[in-house]
Amino acid sequence: PLEFLASRFPGFAVESLAQVYFLNGGDVNLTVEMLNQFEFQGDESVSRNLESNALSNPTLGALDFPAPSGRDG
C-alpha cells in the first residue's frame, strides 16, 4: 500500500504517507481521500507539516490531522 501511496502522492514524504495510512487504520481508500483533501487545499505548508511531524513525532494522534468531512470522530 505504501508504494501505491508514494506513486500516487509523490509530493509527500514516505514517512508522512505511512503516518497517515496507519492513522487511518490501514484503510487505503480513506488515506487517499485524506491526502486528496490536503492536495486540494493547495497548501504547501500541509506537506511540510506532515514531513516535519513524521520526523519529529513518530507517534502521531488523531489531533495531528483533520478528520475528513462527513465522518464522525
Does 52 reside within a domain?
yes
Q: How many domains does the chain have?
A: 1
Does 42 reside within a domain?
yes
Does 11 reside within a domain?
yes
- The per-residue pLDDT for 41 is 75
Does 44 reside within a domain?
yes
Neighbours of 23 (CB within 10 A): 17
Cβ–Cβ under 8 Å, residues 15 and 57 = no
The pTM score is 0.56
Q: What is the pLDDT of residues 4-62, one digit of tens each?
A: 999 999 989 999 999 999 999 999 999 999 999 888 776 555 555 555 555 554 555 55
Domain that holds residue 27: 2-57
Cβ–Cβ under 8 Å, residues 51 and 57 = no
Side-chain half-sphere of 33: how many Cα atoms within 13 Å? 13
Does 50 reside within a domain?
yes
Does 39 reside within a domain?
yes
Does 71 reside within a domain?
no
Q: How far apart are CA 36 and CA 42, in angstroms?
A: 10
Q: CA angle, corner 70, sides to 3 and 31, nearest 5?
A: 5
- The per-residue pLDDT for 26 is 95
